[in-house]
């Protein structure tokens, strides 16, 4: 009796074929909705060596299989060459180099989206039979994704700390794809590298809410770049899950500010990574206080998020360990401005006495966070 071909060898063969007959002058589609036509041919006949290795097997359509086995239309060497040729062809088509992340995204996003749909509809719902059928599709998509990502690693945001690095997530995905190809479906649970969910966030498919990146300045820069491209719609701050809305290929996209893999990637590809001046979390906290207390506020200019109008009065939020006289002067505040220091770690000490004196001369108001709560309540 013939020994069955191992499941992991089959998976590698599906991935290798990219779903088409391996004969380069045929390339017929093998996985069809009305019944697959895929056949596994032995390069050196099974009767000679019983060799079921990946190297000795090739996926062909039934007619090429017959031509090879029965009609001797091709030599073993020719057929072996097809394997090399397909590999080369795949790298040429799917290992394209892009100059921007947006262009890479156009190719990768539909593949990830299809995989996600297959996974959610068949794997999670335990429709095992259909899952096995669609698994071939996954293997082929994965092969394309792997080629594209490996060739364009430089387009991903990276950070020496892997917890903040999209490139580390992408490398993990490449490893996962490699494992997915070479392990059996039943070994799913012991697969050591699982699909990193953050990938869907990086490509804007599904939010992965982790926490807000600290820099208000990076966010302002992103807004300004989006405005330049006529893509920016609005920003919502002062709520539990702040977000911004922008337009992408005619569609409105809601981007949560705590969807950090996606935000990191956007900051990186728009060249907006800036050092932290004002902390976003603290600014949002203060604005949330206003919102919770039904005190209406308005962000004057989306490129300057820490300038806010509250009940007709101009507020400016800053973030300084201790506001000095010199720093106050460098802000060149207009008369009547209310400056709030969000930095609350050393209480009343976050504003120097000299700064208070200078503020009187300038006719501006300086508030610590503790002062702020009372001050805005009186505006009600
Ligand atoms: Zn064929």
According to the 3-state scheme, what is the secondary structure of 39-93? EEEECCCHHHHCCCCHHHEEEECHHHHHHHHCCCCCCHHHHHHHHHHHHHHHHHH
The per-residue pLDDT for 90 is 80
The per-residue pLDDT for 361 is 96
d(CA 341, CA 355) in angstroms, rounded, equals 12
The per-residue pLDDT for 84 is 92
The per-residue pLDDT for 188 is 52
Alpha carbon 351 to its chain's center: 40
Tokens of 56: 């000795």
How many A from CA of 24 to the centre of ligand 1?
A: 8
d(CA 144, CA 374) in angstroms, rounded, equals 59
Radius of gyration, alpha carbons of the chain: 29
Please, what is the angle between helix 7-17 and helix 76-94, to 10°? Answer: 60
Inter-residue contact 340 to 310 (CB < 8 Å) = no
Burial status of residue 281 (CB atoms within 10 A of its CB: 0-12, 13-18, 19 or more): middle
Choose among 357, 362, 354, 302: nearest CA to 338: 362
Selected residue with higher pLDDT from 345 and 225: 225
Q: What is the pLDDT of residues 72-117, one digit of tens each?
A: 899 999 999 999 999 888 877 778 899 999 999 999 999 999 999 8
How many A from CA of 26 to the centre of ligand 1?
A: 5
How many A from CA of 136 to the centre of ligand 1?
A: 18
How many A from CA of 109 to the centre of ligand 1?
A: 30
The per-residue pLDDT for 157 is 98
Residue tagged 């599709």 (tokens):
137
How many A from CA of 84 to the centre of ligand 1?
A: 16
How many A from CA of 143 to the centre of ligand 1?
A: 21
Mean pLDDT across the stretch 298-305? 94
How many A from CA of 66 to the centre of ligand 1?
A: 9
How many A from CA of 61 to the centre of ligand 1?
A: 4
Answer yes or no: is pLDDT of 224 > 60.
yes
Mean pLDDT across the stretch 56-71? 94
d(CA 370, CA 349) in angstroms, rounded, equals 12
Mean pLDDT across the stretch 321-329? 95
d(CA 201, CA 206) in angstroms, rounded, equals 5
How many A from CA of 37 to the centre of ligand 1?
A: 10
The per-residue pLDDT for 315 is 98
**What's the Cα-to-Cα distance from 177 to each of 109, 142, 146, 183, 289, rounded to whole Å?**
16, 6, 7, 10, 46
Of all residues in the chain, the percent with pLDDT exceeding 70 is 97
How many A from CA of 3 to the centre of ligand 1?
A: 25
Tokens of 349: 């000490």
The per-residue pLDDT for 289 is 97
How many A from CA of 5 to the centre of ligand 1?
A: 21
> 280-289, 305-314, 338-347: lowest mean pLDDT where?
338-347
How many A from CA of 184 to the centre of ligand 1?
A: 27
The per-residue pLDDT for 347 is 77
How many A from CA of 287 to the centre of ligand 1?
A: 65
How many A from CA of 63 to the centre of ligand 1?
A: 6
How many A from CA of 125 to the centre of ligand 1?
A: 35
How many A from CA of 25 to the centre of ligand 1?
A: 8
Work out the pLDDT band at 190, boundaries 50, 70, 90.
low
Alpha carbon 193 to its chain's center: 18
Q: What is the pLDDT of residues 42-52, one digit of tens each?
A: 999 988 888 99
Work out the pLDDT band at 151, boundaries 50, 70, 90.
very high
d(CA 361, CA 190) in angstroms, rounded, equals 70
Q: What is the pLDDT of residues 5-33, one digit of tens each?
A: 888 888 889 889 988 999 999 999 888 76
How many A from CA of 55 to the centre of ligand 1?
A: 19
The per-residue pLDDT for 329 is 96
d(CA 306, CA 283) in angstroms, rounded, equals 7
- For residue 368, give the DSSP letter: -
Domain boundaries, the chain: 7-94, 101-201, 311-379
φ, ψ dihedrals at 201, nearest 5°: -75, -45
Mean pLDDT of the residues in the chain: 91
Burial status of residue 236 (CB atoms within 10 A of its CB: 0-12, 13-18, 19 or more): middle
d(CA 88, CA 96) in angstroms, rounded, equals 12
d(CA 13, CA 280) in angstroms, rounded, equals 50
How many A from CA of 86 to the centre of ligand 1?
A: 13
Tokens of 32: 């069809």
The per-residue pLDDT for 57 is 96
How many A from CA of 58 to the centre of ligand 1?
A: 11
How many A from CA of 111 to the centre of ligand 1?
A: 25
The per-residue pLDDT for 189 is 52
d(CA 173, CA 152) in angstroms, rounded, equals 14
């Amino acid at each position: 009796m013939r020994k069955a071909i191992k499941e992991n060898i089959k998976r590698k063969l599906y991935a290798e074929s990219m779903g088409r007959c391996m004969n380069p002058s045929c390339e017929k589609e093998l996985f069809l909705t009305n019944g697959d036509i895929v056949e596994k041919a032995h390069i050196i006949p099974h009767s000679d060596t019983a060799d079921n290795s990946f190297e000795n097997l090739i996926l062909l359509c039934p007619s090429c299989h017959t031509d090879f086995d029965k009609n001797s239309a091709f030599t073993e060497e020719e057929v072996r060459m097809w394997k090399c040729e397909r590999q080369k062809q795949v790298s040429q088509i799917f290992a394209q180099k892009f100059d921007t992340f947006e262009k890479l995204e156009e190719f990768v996003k539909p593949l990830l989206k299809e995989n996600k749909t297959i996974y959610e509809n068949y794997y999670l719902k335990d429709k095992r039979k259909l899952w096995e059928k669609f698994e071939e599709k996954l293997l082929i998509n994965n092969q394309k994704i792997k080629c594209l990502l490996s060739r364009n690693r430089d387009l991903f945001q990276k950070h020496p700390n892997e917890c903040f690095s999209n490139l580390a997530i992408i490398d993990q995905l490449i490893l996962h794809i490699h494992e997915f190809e070479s392990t059996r479906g039943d070994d799913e649970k012991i697969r050591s590298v699982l699909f990193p969910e953050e990938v869907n966030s990086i490509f804007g498919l599904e939010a992965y809410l982790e926490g807000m990146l600290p820099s208000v300045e990076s966010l302002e820069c992103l807004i300004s770049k989006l405005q330049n491209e006529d893509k920016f719609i609005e920003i919502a701050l002062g709520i539990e899950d702040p977000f911004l809305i922008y337009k992408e290929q005619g569609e409105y996209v809601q981007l949560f500010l705590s969807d950090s893999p996606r935000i990191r990637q956007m900051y990186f590809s728009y060249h907006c990574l800036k050092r932290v001046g004002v902390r976003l979390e603290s600014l949002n906290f203060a604005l949330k206080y206003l919102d919770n207390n039904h005190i209406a506020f308005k962000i004057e200019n989306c490129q300057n998020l820490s300038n806010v109008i509250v009940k007709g009065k101009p507020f400016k939020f800053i973030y300084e360990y201790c506001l000095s006289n010199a720093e106050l002067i460098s802000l060149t505040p207009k008369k009547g401005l209310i400056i709030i220091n969000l930095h609350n770690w050393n209480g009343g000490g976050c504003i120097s006495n000299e700064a208070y004196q200078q503020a009187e001369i300038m006719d501006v108001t300086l508030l610590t966070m503790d002062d702020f709560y009372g001050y805005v309540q009186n505006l009600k």
